[in-house]
A and B are shown apart, each in its own frame.
Chain A
Amino acid sequence: MASVTGESVRGTARRSLGRTRPRYGELIIKVLLFLAAGLSVATTLAIVASLIPPTVEFFQRVSPIEFFTGTDWTALFKNPKYGVLPLVAGTLIITGVAVLIAVPLGLGTAIYLSEYAHPRVRAFFKPILEVLAGIPTVVYGFFALVAITPILQDYLPWDVDIYNGFAAAFVMGIMIIPTVASLSEDAMSAVPHSLRDGAYALGSSRMIVSVRVVVPAALSGIVAAVILAISRAIGETMIVAIAAGNRPNWGWNPFEQMATMTAYIAGAGQGDLPTGSFEYKTIFAVGALLFTMTFVMNLISIRLVRKYREVYE
């Protein structure tokens, strides 16, 4: 009797731990999942690989000093000049203004939804907020050109160009609010309730709890949300191509026309540059710089997220 039991126990153990027969189904799933994860890595590597050769050829003819310090970008014209600074300035101005609009509004929204709003209000608001992220950027672009710019021209006391960086940056700020708000709100909601309870027990107001307890505790998530939004703004193409103009402009007035790196790539591509021509390589040089910038942003974000991460429980 006892020996039979022991036998059966040993049998069960062998069935679950021993490799009686290979599990092909599981293997296939494992391989598929690996491919899914590997695909994005492979795509990134392929993009880097395709950016490098034309960029190297570009720098064989244009000195990096001219590229990084020149203030004229006239790559497609006769007697071209290849100073990328006007394009970088355009990108930074528009991104900067967009972030200045999106971060306060996005964070405010997140604090309201996470700390103040009734759950029913929140269930109503959040999906609507996320719809903002689903509007095609070409719609935002025309909204900037035909709705925002005329308002700026009518009500601002100074000169506003029909194509200007500010209108583009303004709608871009609206576009990235959901990114900031939604991710920040997720991070704040994840802050354990015991922290809030503790603060309330010490007599803190809701305001103090939100700003002094919840926001610092969720800081790593908030930083990640902001950096993601910045990356999105740097890479945004359609809005700036439609609303900000195509003229590279070495100046810091956001109410003038400007061209960003993405707008140059899109505009030059529109004219169908002959493959392999030198003008064609300028697109890749600008693209490589853009890629480097967003890559560095992402590295910084990983650093910051690690630095500010607070682990509870």
Chain B
Amino acid sequence: MAIAAVLVAALAACGSDDDDGSSSGSTNTAPQLSGAIAVDGSSTVGPLTSVAADLFKEDNPNVDVTVGVSGTGGGFEKFCNGETDISDASRPIEDDEKAACESKGITYAELQVATDALTIVVNKENDWAQCLTVDQLKKMWEPAAEGKITNWNQVDPSFPDEKLELFGPGTDSGTFDYFTAEINGEEGASRTDYSPSEDDNVTVQGVTGTKGGLGYFGFSYFEENQDTLTAVQVDSGNGCVAPSAETAQDGSYAPLSRPLFIYPKKESLTQPQVLGFLEFYVANIDDIVSEAAFIPLNDEQKAKLQSDFDTLKSAS
């Protein structure tokens, strides 16, 4: 009976591969899938997977998808403990996390589902910092800045005398890991006297309410809040570049454009609802990404996503 269900789901999935490009409405003609899918991980990728889950549930109302946002590190912790089927990640899995998964016998694939431009935001009233260099960002955020760099005019003498208030993600966040690695030169190395929160809306509120505020998070949070915040252009030596879909895709928004991943657990693919969800996620990636207002993959990346997923399927 269970085998039959898997076969049916697989057939249905093959069917949906064929009419590739059709809208997310009615690709699934198989009998209703049911069951639960547990997803956790990055708060940056979470909204994307949530949109995928919502669209998937239009055709499969009996499938329960829970999407947690514990941060990339927190997500892998649960994933490698066997508690979740899929882990959202805003950075690649790390060696110690790989070891944790290995020790529990959990195997997985790394699928890039979107691109992100890690976005630096300032208050709308901030008219001096339209563009910041990587060095200036480092000066604000490096561990040595702690307790010392507290005013904008210390970052650059041309900036006004305005209190510098920093907001950002907490230490469990993949965004924190990525930012500290790219800007401060060492993953996890950051000044600690800023306001950390795993909830990016706290950063939105904080920067919106503080004239000298500065914070960072994933591009989609900026898109949602562009009425109340200004995105800073970043200069990594080749002039000022604003974060956008184009500059993130072609890599010119350096060094803060980054790939976003989901990590499906191979062992969970035997469950028809998980397989069905992933088939749907991969086949409709463009619709999901545009609905969630993320930066889409280019054609090359899309082809890689499909082939990586096919490899995972045939291996299981």
Contact = CB atoms under 8 A, between A and B. Distances in A.
Nearest to A146: B205
Interface residue tally of chain A, by bracket? 20 to 34
A272 B74 contact: yes
A162 B202 CA distance: 10
B183 to A, nearest CB: 15
B191 to A, nearest CB: 9
Contact of A274 (B77, B192, B209, B210): B77
29 contacts: A72-B192, A74-B192, A76-B170, A76-B171, A76-B172, A78-B188, A149-B209, A153-B209, A159-B163, A161-B210, A162-B165, A162-B205, A162-B210, A162-B213, A163-B205, A246-B170, A246-B202, A247-B193, A247-B196, A267-B170, A267-B197, A267-B198, A270-B170, A270-B197, A270-B199, A271-B198, A272-B71, A272-B74, A274-B74
Contact of B170 (A161, A162, A271): A271
Contacts of A173: none
Contacts of B78: 272
B271 interface: no
Contacts of B30: none
A252 B163 CA distance: 18
A210 interface: no
Contact of A267 (B70, B73, B173, B196): B196
A255 to B, nearest CB: 12
A150 B197 CA distance: 21
Given A162-B209, A272-B71, 11 more contacts: A72-B192, A78-B189, A159-B163, A163-B195, A245-B206, A246-B195, A247-B196, A270-B197, A271-B71, A271-B173, A274-B77
B172 to A, nearest CB: 3
Most chain B CB within a 10 A radius of its CB, from A76, A267, A270: A270
Contacts of A272: 70-71, 74, 77-78, 172
A145 interface: yes
A153 B165 CA distance: 15
Interface of A: 72, 74, 76-79, 145, 149-150, 153, 159, 161-163, 245-247, 257, 267, 270-274
B190 interface: yes
A150 B209 CA distance: 8
B162 to A, nearest CB: 11
Contacts of A273: 74, 172
A271 B195 contact: no
Given A77-B171, A162-B213, A267-B170, A247 B195 contact: yes
Interface string B66-90: 0000110110011000000000000
B194 interface: yes
B121 to A, nearest CB: 14
Contact of B195 (A79, A150, A159, A257): A257
Interface string B197-232: 111001001101110010000000000000000000
Contacts of B73: 271
Nearest to A159: B163
A270 B189 CA distance: 21
Nearest to A145: B205
A147 to B, nearest CB: 13
B198 A270 contact: yes
A148 B3 CA distance: 60
A245 B70 contact: no
A145 B205 CA distance: 9
A77 B205 contact: no
A74 to B, nearest CB: 4
A77 B71 contact: no
B198 A247 contact: no
B196 A246 contact: yes
A245 B77 CA distance: 27
Contacts of B193: 247
Contacts of A245: 195, 206
Contacts of B163: 159
Interface string B132-151: 00000000000100000000
A126 B267 CA distance: 60
4 pairs of A and B residues whose beta carbons are closest in the complex:
A162-B209, A271-B172, A272-B74, A272-B70
A235 B210 CA distance: 28
A76 B172 CA distance: 9
Contacts of B74: 271-274
B74 to A, nearest CB: 4
B194 A247 contact: yes
A21 to B, nearest CB: 55
A78 to B, nearest CB: 5
Nearest to A243: B205
Nearest to A80: B192
Contacts of B194: 247
Contacts of A79: 143
Contacts of A72: 192
